[in-house]
Structure 1
Amino acid sequence: MSRLPPLNAVKAFEVAARMGAFALAATELGVSAAAVSQQVRNLEDYLGKQLFVRTGNRITLTDAGLAIYPQTARALNDIAAMTVRILEGEMRMRLVVSVPMSLAETWLAPRLAELLHLFPQLAIDIRVEDDPVDVVRQDIDLRISYGGYHYPTLAAIPLVHDEVLPVCAPDFWYKHGNNEFDLAQIHESLFIHTNWGPNYASHPTWSDWFEQSGTSTHPDPSRGRRVGLSSLAITSARLGLGVALGQRVMARADLEAGRLIALSSMSLRLGHPYCAFVSGAKSDRADIKRLVALLSDNAESH
């Protein structure tokens, strides 16, 4: 076996780096802060590198610490995940997928149905939660997220760089629309606006869409219908509540079935792609590789 560093020291280093303080790491490990500090020093002596810059009660990773932390975290998480499966008697195949609420029903669920045709005995655990989540500590096999920046220690696999386009129910347009499909003539109270929340600044708005189309129209969100989820914007449009600037991946099934119509071919891309995050040891699992393929741009285009 290749040479291994002292594992207790490695664990102390990983927790201290993740928590940003020896005292917080000590609480998680159930030891004293001095014990954590000593274990880290043991690892530094073993490697011949300084891993932290210590400033009072605060610690910051050095360049050497930054270089080894991602692999250290992945290795410990893989060991922890294996231990949990053995202790719980769950060595049979089980897929844990973590996904934001807006993607769970309209995008992920249909792909899982396709996946189960190939893996009919697969146990699936779907966790609907906002970013960030602790992929490793929670033993998550696949995390789907908007953008690649929430999980810097994990490799981001781009899935779909989605776009938005104006959609509504056919009956709604029959009552409120016009033969020219001119959205500038629609009263601003009939527009559905998605409130993306304070954490997102890269999502296009109705004003962005009209500006791109060369029109000076700027529908006032306070005078229209506002929803807090992109998937709810699609549902609202399908129910005839207005015209939504809907995401294509979420609206695709309704568009193909005729429950929604696209009012223009002009679309705007989101600021970032949706990405999948998988810890290193799980990336070769057949069920995970297949689900990533089903969620990818190539699969979406078929």
Structure 2
Amino acid sequence: MATRLPPVHALSAFEAAARLGSFAVAADELCITPSALSHRIRLLEDFVGERLFLRDGRTVTLSEFGRRYLEVVRTALRTLTDFPLPHRSAPAQPRIKITVTPTFARCLLVPRLAEFSAQHPDIVVELFLSVPLYDLALSESDIEVRFGAGKYPDIVTEKLYEEPTFAVASPAYLEKIGGLKTPADLRKATLLRSALEPWQSWFEVAGLDWPEPSTGLRLDDLGLLLEAVRHGHGVGLTRKHFVQDLMAKGEIVHLFPDVQLKTPPHAYYIVYEQDVRDRPEVAVFIEWLLKTFGSL
């Protein structure tokens, strides 16, 4: 019969919570949510068949069994840490391979990645790019951030975030066509097309019974779409966190502020195979993604 081992990520959560005397502080140290830490503690309690902590409101203290088990856990973790590895000249750094869409990487992930690296300097992050809606097979990456409908069978899928879609244009383009006062004025504009940001749902919110455009420049990259808008090729659909810097500089104008598609058909999702989350470095990065981008 195979020996059943306790989950290592739950042991580290237990040690941190016992050492710090707080689930919230321990969760912050491990860069996971308090609910995730509580889940790991419950997982370990199910494994040992005993209560590890006594909970009284927000206060937690070790149970008698928890105090005894903590010494065993600390000894085991210390043994693993101190065990000599003569054939390894330097400790191997934990490594995460992440596949992301280009615009998300450029506008959102890379500007915030220093925060993760500062919290976990021992973890090496490797970024790879994929084309939204086309590269739909999990690559050799550990985690993927996808932009799509969120329907990915046979793999774990967690929504990262979504935000409203709205129309934008450059000041020069607006001057060229004589301005746009109402959504109906888009009849005289060139509508930039993208499978990532289709117009049909936005038309419905705007009260326009129009079909999806079939002519005009098509760009299946959200960053390129914004570049086309900035250079005066027409009107495009976008989202706040991609365009806010360009709007602040006055290079792009938010059209019809009262018309926004609050729940667009596409959003950002984290996808991964279930077993990769057993690796601590992968689990901590997923929790960081959810914590960082879930509140956008």
268, 275, 287: which one aligns with 1:289: 287
Cα contact 1:144–1:276 (8 A) shared by 2? yes
Alignment coverage as a number of residue pairs: 204
Question: Following the alignment from structure 1 to structure 2, what is the Cα–Cα distance between the partners of residues 177 and 114?
Answer: 45
Cross-structure match for 1:181: 181
Q: Is the 8 A contact 2:145 2:268 kept in 1?
A: yes
Structure 2 residue 187 is the aligned partner of structure 1 residue 193? no
Whole-Å Cα distance in 1 between the matches of residues 110 and 117 of structure 2?
11
Q: Which residue of 1 aligns with 2:109?
A: 108
Query: Take 2:210 and 2:155, find their aligned partners in 1: how far apart are those partners?
Result: 43
Correspondent of 2:247 among 251, 255, 278: 255
Contact kept? 1:177, 1:186, Cα under 8 Å: no
CA shift in 2, pair 1:233/1:93, >3 Å: same
* Aligned counterparts of 1:244 and 1:295: Cα–Cα separation in 2: 24
Range with bigger deviation, 277-286 or 227-236: 277-286
- For residue 55 of structure 1, what is the aligned residue in structure 2? none
Q: TM-score, normalised by structure 2?
A: 0.56
1:194-222 per-residue CA deviation (whole Å, 9 max, x = no partner) reads: 134xxxxxx541x4323321234557431
CA distance in 2, matches of 1:132, 1:237: 27
Alignment-derived partner of residue 201 in structure 2:
208
* Helix, strand or coil at the partner of 2:184: helix
Distance in 2 separating the partners of 1:275 and 1:248: 18
- State the match for 2:143 in structure 1: 142
Report the identity percentage.
20
Cα distance change of structure 1 residues 120 and 259 upon mapping to structure 2, 3 Å threshold: farther
The 5-angstrom pairing of residues 44-123 of structure 1 reads 91-119=92-120, 122-123=123-124
**Secondary structure of 2:159's match?**
strand
Residue 100 (structure 1) shift: 2.9
CA contact (8 A) 2:143 2:270 kept: yes
Match of 1:275 in 2: 269
Seen in structure 2, the aligned counterparts of structure 1 residues 208 and 288 have a Cα distance that, compared at 3 Å, is closer
Q: Any idea what SS the aligned residue of 1:190 has?
A: coil
CA separation in 1, counterparts of 2:190 and 2:110?
Answer: 30
User: 5+ unaligned residues in a row in structure 1: which ranges?
Assistant: 5-85, 197-202
Shift of 1:124: 2.5
CA contact 2:98–2:126 (8 Å) conserved in 1: yes
**TM-score normalised by the chain length of structure 1:** 0.55
Change (3 A) 1:215 1:147: closer
| Residues in 1 aligned to 2:112 and 2:178: alpha-carbon distance in whole angstroms | 34
Task: State the Cα distance separating 1:249 from its structure 2 match.
Answer: 3.6
Q: Report runs of 4+ in structure 1 exceeding 6 Å deviation.
A: 86-90
